[in-house]
Amino acid sequence: MSRPLGTPAELERRRRRAVELMNQGDSPTTIAHILGVGRPSLYRWQQAAHSGPDGLAAKPHPGPTPRLTDAQLVELEGLLRQGATAHGWANELWTAPRVTEVIRRHFGVAFHPEHVRKILKHRLH
């Protein structure tokens, strides 16, 4: 089953509005049609709303699991600090293709060099 479209906050607002309309006595069939959801979802949301104040709270999608763990990133940083010549290159210039090769050799993970640039910028700063 795929995740519905919208930000977590928008989806939460939709759930809260559906429960509000059901509590006012509106027809579940009509609410489901207007919101574009199935009736079972309405009943599930109503039950969740009664279970506690956070029952309908937004839950951001966690995204994909990183292919390199935090520990591996720390290890990668140490490998890069050794310098490029320590890994077999003729000079100390680190390029994305070179870092890609170090990651492949040491961790067995293949990345595109452009993705390695993002890792270096966003995860290793």
What the block records as the tokens of 75 is 């290890």
| Pairwise CA distance, residues 108 & 125, whole Å | 22
Domain boundaries, the chain: 8-51, 70-123
pTM listed for this prediction: 0.58
Q: What would the pLDDT profile of 60-93 be if each residue is shown by its tens digit? A: 778 888 999 999 999 999 999 999 999 999 999 9
Q: For residue 99, what are the contacts with CB-CB under 8 A and spacing of at least 6?
A: 76, 80, 113, 116, 120
**Collapsing DSSP states into helix, strand and coil, what is residue 37?**
coil
Closest residue by Cα to residue 31 from 43, 95, 63: 43
pLDDT in tens, the chain (125 residues): 566 788 888 999 999 999 999 999 999 999 999 999 999 999 999 999 998 878 999 887 788 889 999 999 999 999 999 999 999 999 999 999 999 999 999 999 999 999 999 999 988 88
